[in-house]
Amino acid sequence: MPPHHRGAKRALVRFQVPQDLTAIVIPTGQIALTGPSEKLDPALWPVRGDLAHIALAGRCFVPHYAVPIPFTLAAAAELKVAARADADTRASIEAGETFNVLDVSGGWAWGQLGEDGWVGYLPLTALAGQ
């Protein structure tokens, strides 16, 4: 936007687009996906309907991808299949284990145990520094 514009239509941030930006473009000018999205087991792969681990960007299609943030468990905890205390337990995790957090909401962290362990929800209170 020109610098003299004011109000809601004013750009807050300006991005410089690199010259080597590439994409598959079909004649209508839209970007096309190539290949099918894989159906992965959510107990073993960090993917759910709205979010997935960034490493899965080429394998499955979701609206958002996240880079995991590793946390150490401060105390033993139960990994749940849903973000509720009464949800089924997927695994019991010992203090000191690494949990890679991909999302935090309502006092729960969703992520994966280590790099290739179980996926599920832990209470934030179980994570060191929380």
Structure confidence by residue, pLDDT tens digits, 79-111? 999 999 999 999 999 999 999 999 999 999 999
For the chain, the domain total comes to 1
77 within a domain of the structure (yes/no): yes
pLDDT at 17: 43
103 lies in a domain? yes
Residue 15 within any structural domain of the chain: no
Is residue 52 very low, low, confident or very high in pLDDT (cuts 50, 70, 90)? very high
| Domain around 92 | 51-126
In a domain, 111, yes or no: yes
C-beta neighbour count of 119 within 10 angstroms? 25
| Domain-embedded: residue 28 | no
Classify residue 80 by its DSSP letter.
Answer: E
Query: Which pLDDT belongs to residue 15?
Result: 41
Least confident of 8-12, 42-46, 64-68: 8-12
- Between CA 73 and CA 120 the distance in angstroms is 14
Q: Specify whether the CB–CB gap between 102 and 51 falls below 8 A.
A: yes
| Rounded distance between C-alpha atoms, residue 103 and residue 106, angstroms | 10
101 assigned to some structural domain:
yes
Least confident of 9-13, 97-101, 118-122: 9-13
Does the pLDDT of residue 130 top 70, yes or no? no
pTM above 0.75, yes or no: no
Q: Residue 64 falls within a domain, yes or no? A: yes
pLDDT exceeds 50 at position 13 = no
CATH number, domain containing residue 69? 2.30.30.40
Domain membership of residue 120 (yes or no) is yes
CB 121 within 8 A of CB 107: no
Calculate mean pLDDT across residues 25-35.
Answer: 52
